[in-house]
Chains A and B, each alone.
Chain A
Amino acid sequence: MSFLGDVASWFGTAANWWGESGILNRVFEHVQLSAFTMAVALAVALPPALALGHRNRGGGLVVTVVNLGRAIPSFGILALALPFTIELARGIDLFGWEFSPISSGLGFWPTFVALLALAVPPIFANGFTAVRDVDPGTVEAARGMGLTERQILRSIEVPMAMPVVYAAMRVASVQVVATATLGALVAWGGLGRFIIDGFAQQDDVQVFAGAVLVALLAVATEALFAFGERWAIPRGIAGAGDRAAATAG
């Protein structure tokens, strides 16, 4: 039987789909971690980025964040995060109050840290530049008509920055989905399990199937964002987000 035929029959085996280590649960774990990471990344990075962009302050900070994000590979962050998460799981002593903020130092949390470090720089940098680069004439007109600074940011600058911010979210999400595969190295589930376990078991079919699944999920993420664009980008300014892709990577 050919290799691809083996792969096809792997996908055709019901046992590979169901159960804790089945495809469906792995996809769920993968999506769960990716979505959680993106939600936290947006919550952490976007508000300061937009506020700094409005005041055009902190351009140096943006450059630093982006360079750090590019310099340190996700694999390295995963390795660096591990001792800390393990320590956190053991319990910390906060002014005599002992507790464990996370239940396990392996799996979910170190992977989350690595992915967060991946997602934050493009979102932060693009949020900042997108707001900073909003047409100054439009902002001056808004201010001259009596919008408060908060109103200018919320109702003028953020909608106008949306194409760039959305493009950054799209690129970051795809990267996060692709990189979440690493979680399998630190005993997290997700689609990486098929690849890591396949290597360990010298099961090339499983490795290949896992790679195919990760690629499909990344493409599906891309498609989801493409589909959501018409709701996310205000009418009247569509088509401005293309230039963001270059800086978001």
Chain B
Amino acid sequence: MSDSPMIRLDAVTKVFPGTDHPAVDRLTLEVAEGEVVVLVGPSGCGKTTTLKMINRLIEPTSGTITVAGADVTAVPAPELRRSIGYVIQQIGLFPHRTIADNIATVPRLLGWERPRIEARIDELIDLADLDPAMRDRYPSELSGGQRQRVGVARALAADPPVLLMDEPFGAVDPIVRARLQDELLDLQARLRKTIVLVTHDVDEAIKLGDRVAILNVGGVLEQYAPPAEILRSPADAFVEGFLGSDRGIKRLSLIAVRDATLVEGPIVDAAATAAEAGAAMAQHGLDWFGIRRGGLVVGWAAGSDLDGGAAPADLEPRPFATALGPDDSLRDALDAVITSHSRVAPVFDGARYLGMLTIEEISREIVQ
């Protein structure tokens, strides 16, 4: 991040003709270079209006907007827009043009040489994880998720430093949406664009945003902070209400399992005696124990398995139904803990056993 913001809105107001109340009211907002900022709020909060003022699809009534230090009104609007990527919910692929031609839109407007355009198309098809065979297909031949990827590739074609996204994943089903969100985060980790994204979905905002701007009806900025901070300390009742009653659980999605405190759990060596296993279970108040063999935790056995006088070495370890990795979120962990009858979730880094996450530890993180 550099010192000066990549995008700066200064006291920006928009009053649409024929309305008394501003859609956006003296909004001041800075977006640092390489940052993902999500504008979120209920309908009528002016989030889309705000986004469209950045590329001048809507002209502000008053206030100034700068991108990379330059006033957006300094150049003609079409020229400005060619330097800013734009992705919308409807995607808006040109149906009469092939995927390659769609992607080539802005490079052609900028007058690139043909070989450079062709090379860039190949690069973007690869970047967006699209099948190269799609190059010469038409948008109607693609699935919703594929079209969305093409839309993003098209927006990135001229390598703009700034990307504006208006509810980019609003039109796809939840499973595809989650995957596209992950892909965007992957892409962003590599490209480090400055992204402003609009959504009405608080979970999407928390997942994608480095910072989240929560707007109230009439374009009033209620809070502008990293998601963890917003969830930990909402600025006011509006923000708290907007985040929902499951704010604590939402916060869990921002904490990685690796950052939580793990307990060793009732793990005994395969060579241990039944009494040692019993002691381990009693210590943790559980009716099962994990079995370590050759340094690896290979599975578990129930306390009742020892009832016939068997030793741990005689038992066939049962595999863990759910296992977490260090990169999973505590929200995933909570799900694993609740749905397993053992009330804990084992954490593995590959084959290496790291420890167990208990419901107590998770609730401690919520309260913090």
Contact = CB atoms under 8 A, between A and B. Distances in A.
B42 to A, nearest CB: 22
Contact of B78 (A135, A147, A159, A160): A147
Interface residues of A, number: 23
In which size bucket is the chain B interface?
A: 20 to 34
Contacts of B94: 138, 141-142, 156, 160
Interface string B138-171: 1110000000000100110000000010000000
B109 A138 contact: no
Interface string B262-303: 000000000000000000000000000000000000000000
A102 B328 CA distance: 85
Interface stretch (A16-24, A125-133, A199-207, A231-239): A231-239
Contacts of A234: 96
B92 A141 contact: yes
A232 to B, nearest CB: 12
Given A143-B81, A144-B81, A145-B154, A137 B92 contact: yes
Contacts of B230: none
A146 B109 contact: yes
Given A146-B78, A236-B139, A141 B91 contact: yes
A137 B82 CA distance: 18
Interface string B83-114: 10010111111111110000001100100000
B335 interface: no
A147 B82 CA distance: 8
A102 B309 CA distance: 119
Given A138-B90, A146-B82, A237-B140, 4 more contacts: A139-B92, A145-B86, A145-B106, A146-B79
Contact of A236 (B79, B97, B164): B97
Contact of B57 (A135, A144, A162, A236): A144
A160 B78 CA distance: 21
Given A137-B91, A138-B95, A236-B139, A145 B57 contact: no
A148 interface: yes
B55 interface: yes
A140 B98 CA distance: 19
Interface string A146-172: 111001000010011010000000000
Interface of A: 135-148, 151, 156, 159-160, 162, 234-237
A161 B328 CA distance: 49
Given A140-B92, A159-B96, A237-B95, A147 B109 contact: yes
Nearest first, the 7 closest Cβ-Cβ pairs linking A and B are A141-B92, A137-B90, A146-B82, A236-B138, A144-B86, A234-B96, A146-B81
Nearest to A158: B96
A217 B20 CA distance: 62
A236 B88 contact: no
Contacts of A235: 96, 138
A222 B368 CA distance: 76
Nearest to B83: A146
A211 to B, nearest CB: 41
A234 B139 CA distance: 13
Counting chain B CB atoms within 10 Å of each CB, the highest count among A142, A146, A234 belongs to A146
Contact of B88 (A141, A146, A148, A156): A141
B57 A140 contact: yes
A169 B257 CA distance: 66
B57 A143 contact: yes
A163 to B, nearest CB: 10
Contacts of A141: 86, 88, 90-94, 151
A152 B92 CA distance: 13
A142 B102 CA distance: 10
Interface in B145-204: 151, 154-155, 164
Nearest to B82: A146
B78 A148 contact: yes
B162 to A, nearest CB: 12
A139 B86 CA distance: 13
A103 to B, nearest CB: 45
Nearest to B140: A236
B92 A142 contact: yes
Contacts of A139: 92
A79 B92 CA distance: 50
B192 to A, nearest CB: 22
Contacts of B93: 138, 141
Contacts of B81: 143-146
9 contacts: A135-B92, A137-B92, A142-B105, A145-B155, A148-B78, A159-B96, A160-B95, A234-B96, A235-B138
Counting chain B CB atoms within 10 Å of each CB, the highest count among A140, A141, A145 belongs to A145
Contacts of B55: 144
Contacts of B95: 138, 160, 236-237
Contacts of A147: 78, 105, 109
Nearest to A240: B95
B253 to A, nearest CB: 31
A135 B140 CA distance: 14
B106 to A, nearest CB: 5
A69 to B, nearest CB: 30
A147 B96 CA distance: 16
Contacts of A236: 95-98, 138-140
B97 A138 contact: no
Contacts of A143: 57, 81
Counting chain A CB atoms within 10 Å of each CB, the highest count among B92, B93, B155 belongs to B92
